[in-house]
Amino acid sequence: MSNEDLMGILNPSRLNNACLGVSGMLLYTGEAFIQVLEGEEKVVDDLVADIKKDPRHKDFRIIERKKINTREYAEWTMGFKRVDKEELRNVPGLNKFFETDLSGSLSTDKSDLINKLTHHFLTESKKKNEHDELSLEEDDAFIRFLHTMIRFGVKVLALLMMLTVLWCVFDVMIVIYQEILSHPISSLGKSEILHVFGSFMIVLIAVEIFINITLYIRKDVIPVKMVVATALMAVARKIIVFDFHEVSALHVIGTALLVLALGGCYWLLEREFKVHSDA
């Protein structure tokens, strides 16, 4: 099956799953598909029934059906992996996957093998998205000590930033009172509304900065993505409080180009790090 054929399956599936609140993964071995679906019981049952009716499918079987408390594939509307024989050659328990005949009745051994395969690629995909900027597992004791001290500093900064966020929230309350509540509604103008909006945006930017600080001691977020997102938030605030009677056309054009550049950068980062497909 060509890449175009695969994307013809994946793109509609991802769109449909997003609408239904379904997550999961699709594996393609070159001869067969193995699919995992997670979601509300009735929604998943209906979706499986629709898939089963597709005339392109042959030898359709449900390998396992179970209730779960937490989704394992929550980040993917439909993750995808083309299973490669060479990739599994040195994986214990899976190195003979392609030598196993999965046709016919599904024994316990076959079911366990398929479950190991899906779990293997789930684990590997998550590893690709992990980072550890300040690892405490460094071999060098001095580097490990420096990382420990920096982590402590980050926690202090996070505490101070939390207090700053609360202060910003208090400031919003003051601005709302001064600009709206203390004056008649009839006197409310554009400048007062923009002042209030600007105060709200400052709180949101402060929250984003707090997240930027804490992500350096987390493994599940790519730092540059949050930095770009914060930059977009800051630019959005500037746009909201623009006085178009005072700013020049060149200034507006430059800001628009900056938004496009940051938006394009974030889209590329999202596409790179959120491993939806390697087809």
Query: What is the reported pLDDT for 70?
Result: 87
pLDDT digits (tens, 9 = 90+) for 69-108: 888 888 788 888 888 888 787 788 887 788 777 776 777 8
* Stronger pLDDT, 106 or 14, i.e. the higher one: 14
Side chain identity at residue 257, one-letter code: L
Question: What percent of the chain stands above pLDDT 90?
Answer: 12
CATH dotted code for 3-128: 3.30.70.100
* Stronger pLDDT, 109 or 217, i.e. the higher one: 109
Query: Across residues 39-60, what is the average pLDDT?
Result: 88
Show the tokens assigned to 146.
Answer: 């420096």
**Mean of per-residue pLDDT scores for the chain:** 81
* Stronger pLDDT, 58 or 264, i.e. the higher one: 264
The yes-or-no verdict on residue 37 having pLDDT over 90 is yes
Confidence tier at 133 by pLDDT (50, 70, 90): low
Query: What is the reported pLDDT for 45?
Result: 92
The yes-or-no verdict on residue 277 having pLDDT over 50 is no
Residues 120, 91 contacting (CB under 8 angstroms): yes
Neighbours of 50 (CB within 10 A): 10
d(CA 146, CA 279): 41
The yes-or-no verdict on residue 165 having pLDDT over 90 is yes
pLDDT digits (tens, 9 = 90+) for 221-261: 556 777 787 788 778 777 776 777 778 888 888 988 998 99
In a 10 Å sphere around its CB, with 0-12 CB exposed, 13-18 middle and 19+ buried, how is residue 106 labelled?
middle
Confidence tier at 130 by pLDDT (50, 70, 90): low
Helix axes 41-53, 3-20, angle to 10 degrees: 150
Q: Residue 37: beta bridge partners?
A: 24
Query: What is the reported pLDDT for 213?
Result: 79
The yes-or-no verdict on residue 150 having pLDDT over 80 is yes
Q: How would DSSP label each residue in 90-140?
A: TSTTTTTGGGS---SS--HHHHHHHHHHHHHHHHHHHHHT---TT-S--SS
Query: What is the reported pLDDT for 159?
Result: 93
Show the tokens assigned to 69.
Answer: 């408390």
The yes-or-no verdict on residue 134 having pLDDT over 90 is no
Side chain identity at residue 167, one-letter code: W
Query: Across residues 51-76, what is the average pLDDT?
Result: 85
Residues 208, 221 contacting (CB under 8 angstroms): no
Confidence tier at 275 by pLDDT (50, 70, 90): very low
Q: Which residues contact 7 (CB under 8 A, 6 or more apart)?
A: 277, 279
Confidence tier at 276 by pLDDT (50, 70, 90): very low
